Structure 1
Amino acid sequence: MVAVATGFSAVLIMASTAGAATHGAGSATTAAASCPYKYFCAYPGANFTGQPILMYNCVEHEITWSGLGSWINNQTPGTRAQFRSSDHVTRWMDRGAYDSDASADWTWVWWVKPC
């Protein structure tokens, strides 16, 4: 009886994991579609939610929120975004377009320069 219950639990876990993987792929596709080509998009919510700041020009853009959010770099291939602290110093750069983070810590980021 225990072996049957254990086997049943394993099947449920595997089905749940497969569903999550499919859902995650759809979310990434939807997120990429919401960020136009040649733009860097910063979202106030995790998983590309909330009203994004769409960045096209190569200037500093103020990040008006703090906490957990997300971003997509959908610029031309290789273009790297600069994440800057309150003193306008670049503290981190992404890997270059195309790149994204569905769970980004914005607490230290005050400015983004998308190029």
Structure 2
Amino acid sequence: MTKNRGGSRRTWLRSMLAVVTGFSAVLTMASTAGAATHSTGYAAAAASCPYKYFCAWPEPNFGGTPLPPMYNCKEYDIPWTGVGSWINNQTPGTRAQFRSSDHVTRWMDDGAYDSDASADWGWVYWVKPC
């Protein structure tokens, strides 16, 4: 007599479907938690950068101890290298200038309000927030 294997195959498929669904749910929760943490970090950073100021952090996602907010239209020294972050919360359209070691503007942001949670500070020695 031949044993019916259809039931065991069906059970195996259901088990695999449950495993895949469970794994998918865990990944979704993990990515949602990461997004919520990033959003919370951004919200806190945005709240700590006063209107009419440019703010810079030494770590990505607005981490670490930021420089004091920059207001005056002058060059400010960027004392770190690596990947950091910034927020331009100045009056609408005001563009921050990112300058190299020779004080030459090599890049400008799109104008306030603007931000970058993963900015390369490696080549930036100075920021002029106007």
TM-score (norm 1): 0.93
Secondary structure of the structure 2 residue equivalent to 1:47: helix
Does 1:102 pair with 2:92? no
Residues 70-110 of structure 1: CA deviation (Å, up to 9, x unaligned): 11101111110000001111110111111111111100001
Aligned to 1:5: 19
Does 1:61 pair with 2:79? no
Aligned to 2:64: 50
Aligned to 1:39: 53
- Divergent runs of 4+, >3 A: none
From the CA coordinates, give the structure whose radius of gyration is larger.
2
Aligned to 1:114: 129
Higher relative contact order at CA 8 Å, sep ≥6: structure 1 or structure 2? 1
Q: Any stretches of 5+ residues in structure 2 without a counterpart? A: 1-14
TM-score (norm 2): 0.83
* Amino acid in structure 2 at the alignment position of 1:15: M
Give identity over the alignment, percent: 61
Give the count of matched residue pairs: 115
**Shift of the alpha carbon at 1:11?**
1.2
Secondary structure of the structure 1 residue equivalent to 2:64: coil
